[in-house]
Amino acid sequence: MLSIEWTATDGWLAPRITPYQNLSLDPASCVFHYSFECFEGMKAYVDPNGRTRLFRPDRNMARLNSSSARIALPTFDGKQFTDLIGKLVELDKAFIPNKRGYALYIRPTMIGTQKTLGVGPPGSALLYVICSPVGPYYPTGFKAITLEATTYAVRAWPGGVGDKKIGSNYAPCILPQQQAAKRGFQQNLWLFGEENYVTEVGTMNLFVAWVNKSTGKKELITAPLDGTILEGVTRESVLQLAKETLGKEGWDISERKFTMQEMKNAADEGRLLEAFGSGTAAVVSPIKGIEWKGEMVNVPLQEGTESGPIAQKVMQMMNDIQYGHVEGHPWR
């Protein structure tokens, strides 16, 4: 693990890479009482030449700095921190099987360590990174999921911190996910407001492909970054890849609000084409149905498969870049 301590008086101290080990913290440490914690999730991949590659680490660094700044934790130099993560990954390289689908999951974490029960900005912090090898999310091919649209709880709200990757955003989301699981759904879908705006799915961003009723054009749509949506690195990448591919085929690629009712109407009128979640863990997660207000909104899949064509294409393109099969790609 990589550890870097920070104090308000001395700033960042020398980084250390040590064996994975327990932390020793005073029980009064502010992380335990007031949730001074933020984190990132990223992966290192091994390319055909045996080299390790991080996927767009600058985006994770920017997001971690934005999260830490919001909860009065210190910020850091993203480039230097990426170099340190690179050193850790090199040391752990033997744990990453050199096969498509396998990677080293990297979890940068920052906590406030100040020993005080007084509520205030932490005078000390610890930035650390742990890793774990991960295998393919879908070892036997895609498995489309069903969602329960949560109408009794919200994940984020305007003026809140839904766009930050802070621990305190995650614990309250488990209960609705457990409730959905109890009723047989793999994930819950987060809605917002009386309009039932579609926001995110579990801990993934959400994409919907449909034929837009007013323009008659095919559209790939995702909720806009209005402060309530986590700014997914995969989301941003999918949007860009979609603009470069579907965009050239006449599709509209949109970041704007849309409602569950609009999705239901599209399904009822045969205009709904596909839906999938996007995130670092799975890259894309095809969706086959959403239960909303007691009714199932069915999402089409490509015949004989557990996915739609866009999710399949996105997975292929993303993996090609992540595993270094695209020479000189800027996201390597």
Ligand X SMILES: Cc1ncc(COP(=O)(O)O)c(C=O)c1O
Residues near ligand X, by CB under 6 A: 41, 200, 203-205, 230, 232-235, 278-280
Q: How wide is the angle at C-alpha 242 spanned by C-alphas 236 and 248, nearest 5°?
A: 145
| Smallest distance, ligand X to C-beta of residue 317, A | 15
| Smallest distance, ligand X to C-beta of residue 227, A | 13
| CA-based torsion, 226, 232, 235, 236: positive or negative | positive
Residue pair 204/277 in contact (Cβ under 8 Å)? The answer is yes
Closest CB to ligand X among residues 106, 267: 106
Closest CB to ligand X among residues 189, 267: 189
Give strand pairing partners of 207: 276
Closest CB to ligand X among residues 125, 204: 204
Closest CB to ligand X among residues 67, 278: 278
| Smallest distance, ligand X to C-beta of residue 161, A | 11
| Smallest distance, ligand X to C-beta of residue 203, A | 4
10 Å CB burial of residue 196 (0-12, 13-18, 19+) is buried
Phi/psi zone of residue 55: left (φ > 0), alpha (ψ -120 to 50 degrees), beta? beta
Closest CB to ligand X among residues 104, 267: 104
Which contiguous run of DSSP H or E holds residue 287? strand 283-292
DSSP3 helix / strand / coil % (the chain, rounded to 5): 25, 30, 40
| Smallest distance, ligand X to C-beta of residue 59, A | 7
Give strand pairing partners of 148: 188, 291
